[in-house]
Structure 1
């Protein structure tokens, strides 16, 4: 009897990502960089390559393609995952890699009038999402992945589950958003009722929750707070279900609002989170409090905002203004 055929390498990578409960975005990123690595070396099998080939590929990304440090690090993470978790090989320390240089950049921050002008150009779910990103300090994907149960309107609290680094955290919910969020929950309930009447599959649940709580995906509490207008096909399971609003739609709406508001800064959805942190520090809040609200594991990440506080040239008085 013939032995079963070994799955293709990239299928093994996908399977291992799912065993490790990695997000679809991580799975897609890892398979992309592993494919690029193999093609770069003329389709050689990774078992026939090692640290020198990995170093050559990563150096090529930094020198010839001039990628950002985060991109190079993502490529390295994907290749290390391939060797360590899929092929069971530990690579030696990669000390021959030319690292992509990270230019020192301060975050783009809007002043309060600019934030108000931007929000005034948005409506509906886009206004509510942008208001949450600014008012609660959420990343775009954190806001989009919110479930109905993650927003406590009575306690005015937002629970961010599995934020960057896989950590949960709690942050504030602005009082001005309680009423709009109440209406949004009512809309979600109506959409959910319609989906149930149409026998649409349950909403996607992270990790092993769907096995532990098989009916949770059919409950209102687990529905996405910002659902897509139409159901779609789950790329992993092939099941037709309703997912959350796509991030590209929100990014387009915010980019259009920035332009319509006449804001000349290169602002994006993440600028709202930067502005949240900076304005809290300007109001005198302790940097450790801001660190906790943002979910930063290292306070040094939060300290970047101290460099963009509204202090007019680092609080130095210009000699032109002297008397």
Structure 2
């Protein structure tokens, strides 16, 4: 979903971008990329001195209190990922304090592919997602990112209207307990279908492949279970509770290692599912904009209720 918006990139930012181009290059077109929650995203088409073009991506944080920290962490993550097998964008430049741009901004390379949120072909994409996440967790960076953060508490959970009260009460009791011990891993922390790019050019879904993983601003160090739980929750809300449960299995089939104890797995799965209760409207809007019009706030709440109930039945 792309809109032309040549007038939307502000003059100081355009000048800043231009200073980071190769000699003889210039910006010839800008296009708004929709789907982001916290940032304005634009693809910039760059005309090269040889008559060709290449693309860059500009992330601009207009109304975000923690923009400096957010962009510094993403820039650091992209630097750490340089030279690894993980298909992440390359960092071109960052202005986290808006010293040169109208707003805090980050410029990075453009990756081929697109996000895919449709139900069709999901049985093929889920193992690919699992293998990609296991590869991310296998990274051992020279410098660890910050420790993971979870903001949801037992007192901030928003129980959907008409939800299974007993299941939700039991789930909330789970996260009242201290976090279980874990072996630290390099986490994306927002790994889910909206942040993974696929090449869908082959004639059948079976030929799909991942071309990129984006949005690394929340990168942190923590339990692999937490990343798996986050993707599981998103799959459950996008495609139904069964797919949320399936993803943990696919992750282990891909060589990923989860907590040995069922109670520990339940803690992380439930914690992320309950976190989603606080932002159903925020996360469902980009999905509708991407073509999933049936995913109204109410529909997503119902799927979340079904998923929390399924987790408690399967692991509780």
**TM-score normalised per structure 1:** 0.21
**Structure number with higher strand proportion:** 2
Structure whose residues are more often helix by fraction: 1
Q: TM-score, normalised by structure 2?
A: 0.21
Bigger-Rg structure (1/2): 1
